[in-house]
Structure 1
Amino acid sequence: MAQADFCSAGKTGATLSVDAARLRTIAAVAMMRETEVLPLDRALGRVLAEPPLARVNLPPFDNAAMDGYAVSTRDLTGEGPWRLPVSDRVAAGDTRSITLRPGTAARIFTGAPIPAGADAVIMQERAHRDGDMLIVSEAPRAALNIRRRGEDRRAGEPALPSGHLLTAPRLALLAGTGIALVSAFRKLRVGLFSTGSELQEPGSPLRHGQIYNSNRVMLRALLAQPWIDLTDYGILRDDAGAIRAAIRRAAEANDIVISSGGVSAGEEDHILDALRCEDATLDVLKVAIRPGKPLTVGRVGGALYVGLPGNPYAAAVTFGQIARPALRKAAGLSEMPEPWIPAVAGFDYPRTTGRREYIPVTWDQRDAMGRPVVQRLGRGASASLGPIAMARGIAVIDPDMPHVSAGQPLQVEPLFE
């Protein structure tokens, strides 16, 4: 190995709390600035860069909220019941300019424009028809069952704020206001690689001492977002020079580089050496999290680097708690989800204090307050795949809690609900 490829590495510095490590990671990333213009049919799952202005009012005219009869409340004074001749019929899509004749009613259908002079719609279930006459027993209040012009969005006003994810309902809102094109942030470029000479891809034969690369499959799935452009660099063997060259190449081509494995300070863990040889700025080296040690976060050139542990559950936890919030900020997303829900422990668990712990849980019952009564899965080993695969959520335990008792309140992050 050339001398330039060797640097001394170690996990020095203060241990950070999970919250502090998350904030440092978010602070180390720059928010996306580059944009592109997309038609709505190509914008699903992208991040809105500029608030689009509504081109028309939504709805564009006063319309009926349900099937019934359009009336004027001015005709329904004194003692009822009232008898009103049905003078017209108005369906959705009717382009006529209709004026309701005084003392009459108009048969109207959902979405149809309200005739001029009408100020309420009596739903058909509460109307009685006698031939061409409408019999009204109870006078409606003004504006009943009418959707007013512009009550959803006003023309010229922002239809959505920037930084919002363009979901199907949001795209429908934009279409309803006449918007055909949106300015979206370009996709976040993310590079991914795994390190370890023991790794083989699923489907390949295993030799003694080798394991299948489950982290690659898991992280690719976690990164499969419409706002991410993912480049998978595959498996890097435990060779310091090759790892250093791969980190440099990935950092030049991506906004964020994520690796799994090789971030300890052992003789075969070359990530820290490579980062220091590349003059990386290391912001996070030690975190009080279980599972999740080791974890490394820094900057290599213009890219954020996140080195996740090699053990699968530890990689899943650190990705969710540390990496994902930074990815969302980098992509321009302003909405930060708060997925934690209140739950209650259905188990006893003595533990060592000092690190915030995340444990896989499941549940099939709730307490009297409607909170899930969670059961712990597995023994918490960071290399375990079965517990996290079967978990309905992840429960968090505070660092200074020496014992979890049945009935104790917990916070849980659901995994698929």
Structure 2
Amino acid sequence: MNPLPTFPRQSTVSPTDYRHLIEATLAATVQCRSEKLPLVETSGRVLAQDLRALRSVPHFDNSQMDGYALTALGAARDDRTFIVGADVPAGSDARDLPIRDDIAYPIMTGAPLPAGYDAVVPVERSRVLTGEQDAAGFAQRGGQIDLPRAAFGDFVRRVGEDIEAGELLATAGCPITSALIGALASQGIGSLKVRSSPRVVLITGGDEITLDTEAAPESGKILDANGPMLCALAGADGAETQRVAIGDSVEQLVGVLTRLVLTWRPDFMITSGGISHGKYEVVRLALTAMMETKDARVQAERTWFGHVAQQPGGPQGLSLLRATSQEQDGSAHLVPVISLPGNPVSTLVSYVELVRPALAQLTGRVAPQPRHGVLALAEGEELQAPEGKTQYRRARLERVFESDGTVRTLLTPDPLTGSHLLHRAATAQVLVQLDPGVTYRSGDVAFYLPL
């Protein structure tokens, strides 16, 4: 693992610096594990072992087309009249068929090439001279056909054309795609060692949150949107999640953090809300209290609460919990706590922009990279980020196909920017990045991140 990074001393950091801090913290504290799974259950996971081909694929020469198999001399001889031999269907054994330059064997796609035969002429290029012709265009056995010349190897799939036995098939760290699963299945590989999913605790709540979704919330109460949203986000990004609801009790949260670190042993935690400067900012108060607690099995080794120069998602926090083993060696492990702001859109933006890249680093996946599109604004409309901050605006994305074959990506930002407008975020596809000090007009290029 990498050395622990230094936490900031200043109260405000840039989005880029803070994203790198989260990535470096997780890289320094999370141990990569692996597990063995049946091949069919590994889609979307990341390979944890190098694999070499057990056998060549194809492992026998076979036909690429429905047609007639010819010897090398038969394919090139002047006399283009051939006697039709026995059918060679897929799955048959064609090794003991007679080898003659004037015999053409009807061969089906994927069927083994008869021994001594080196080319295939597609059936649609043949002409029946004598004998019956079936619905597929083949002449009956013993009939005569006319075939055009062919070159050695025409329409033949050779042994090892895809991969040869012993060749490197896949390397540790590569994503397991559907195509790779197919390639591994063709090798007879039935199980794989893959990277284990990072274990992530998601903590949301507060006394104003109710979890009873069957009834309308009481006056002053709201339903928890952030918990299910974070579960969906982290789960889709390859994490194994456990969701925990809390109130405004500092003592309760300290107990929850301690219990989870000691029993479930998460790789890291994500909290949402409770990190500002009010009287009831339970996350900040609890983690600060854990800094001051002595001789506890789980303590906060360091914390940082401040602002990231972005909107929304300015308030942020990052902490390290140290859990001491009860064993005599007193060994310890560290659990990062990433504390996001509580407004739903702030939580969403912070996860996409700050947390997702770090989680991708752990899982071996590729985090979506910023792309660029063209802003589609009303005539005379201008956009500017708040002074000194990077702004992320919800936006709709549309791809327009031009007559010259090019494709334009049009970005239409939401005119409303409130961090509580979660439904408007649900109808957007991307976050448009507006850099500080830049005035954007219709037709200007801007970066965006997929939601």
* TM-score using structure 1 length: 0.86
CA distance in 1, matches of 2:123, 2:450: 44
Mapped contact 1:119–1:142 kept (Cα < 8 A): yes
The match for 1:86 is 84
Distance in 2 (CA, whole Å) between partners of 1:364 and 1:313 is 22
**Could you say which residue in structure 1 is the equivalent of 2:374?**
344
| 1:214 Cα offset (Å) | 0.7
Question: Counterparts of 1:369-380 in structure 2 under 5 Å?
Answer: 369-380=406-417
Matches of 1:372 and 1:267, distance apart in 2: 46
Distance in 1 between residues matched to 2:300 and 2:285, nearest whole Å = 10
Write the distance in 2 (CA, Å) between the matches of 1:280 and 1:123: 73
Letter in 2 for 1:267: K
- Pair 1:305 & 2:333 matched: no
Aligned to 1:105: 104
Bigger mean CA deviation after superposition, 17-26 or 174-183: 17-26
Closer, same or farther: CA 59–338 of 1 in aligned 2, 3 Å: farther
| Matching of residue 361 in structure 1 with residue 395 in structure 2 | yes
Q: How far is the alpha carbon of 1:85 from its aligned partner?
A: 2.4
- Residue 408 in structure 1 maps to residue 448 in structure 2: no
Change over 3 Å in CA distance of 1:129–1:412 after alignment to 2: farther
SS of structure 2 residue aligned to 1:279: strand
Gaps of 5+ in 2: 1-7, 132-142, 292-298, 323-333
CA 223–64 in structure 1, closer or farther in 2 if over 3 Å, else same: same
Is the 2:271–2:283 Cα contact (8 Å) retained in structure 1? no
Deviates more, 1:268-277 or 1:211-220: 268-277
Q: Which amino acid aligns with 2:221?
A: Q
Partner of 1:165: 175
Q: Residue 219 of structure 2: which of 175, 185, 208 is its match?
A: 208
What is the letter of the counterpart of residue 279 of structure 2? E
Shift of 1:359: 1.6
Which of 277, 290, 300 aligns to 1:265? It is: 277
Give secondary structure in 2 for the equivalent of 1:317: helix
Structure 2 Cα separation of the partners of residues 359 and 98 of structure 1: 71
Structure 1, 295-304 or 224-233: larger mean CA deviation = 224-233
Match of 1:291 among 312, 324, 331: 312
* 293, 316, 324: which one aligns with 2:348: 316
- 2-side partners of 1:299 and 1:387: how far apart? 34
How many angstroms apart in 2 are the aligned matches of 1:127 and 1:360? 61
CA distance in 2, matches of 1:408, 1:188: 39
Contact 2:32 2:362 in 1 (8 A): no
Measured against aligned partners, the alpha-carbon deviations of 1:242-280 in whole angstroms (never above 9, x if no partner) come to 222222333332111111111223322132332232324
Alpha-carbon contact 1:28-1:298 (below 8 Å) kept? no
Distance 2:237 2:353 in 1: 21
| Partner of residue 117, structure 1 | 116
Is 1:62–1:113's contact at 8 Å kept on the other side of the alignment? yes
For 2:145 and 2:237, how far apart are their aligned partners in 1?
A: 54
Q: Of the candidates 302, 306, 315, which is equivalent to residue 281 of structure 1?
A: 302
Amino acid at match of 2:85: S
Higher Rg: 2
Letter of the 2:317 counterpart: T
Corresponding position of 2:35: 36
Change in Cα spacing, 1:175 to 1:367, as seen in structure 2 (3 Å) is closer
Bigger relative contact order (CA 8 A; separation at least 6): 1
* Separation of aligned partners in 1, 2:151 and 2:114: 17
Instruction: Flag the 1:61–1:310 CA change in 2: closer, same or farther, 3 A.
Output: same
Unaligned runs of 5+ in 1: 1-10
Contact 2:284 2:305 in 1 (8 A): no
Q: Secondary structure at the match of 1:273?
A: helix
Q: How does 1:328-339 map to 2 (within 5 A)?
A: 328-331=360-363, 333=364, 335-339=365-369
Q: 1:268 to 1:283 in 2, by over 3 A?
A: closer
The whole-number CA distance in structure 1 between the counterparts of 2:257 and 2:273 is 13
Tell me the equivalent position of 2:426. Answer: 389
Assess if the C-alpha contact under 8 Å between 2:275 and 2:305 holds in 1. no
What does residue 217 of structure 1 align with? 228
Identity %, equivalent residues: 27
Which runs of structure 2 are paired with 1:45-194 in the superposition (5 Å)? 45-77=44-76, 82-98=80-96, 100-130=99-129, 131=131, 132-137=143-148, 139-194=149-204
* Contact 1:68–1:121 under 8 Å retained in 2: yes
CA RMSD of aligned residues (A): 2.6
Instruction: State the Cα distance separating 1:157 from its structure 2 match.
Output: 3.0
Amino acid of the structure 2 residue aligned with 1:307: S
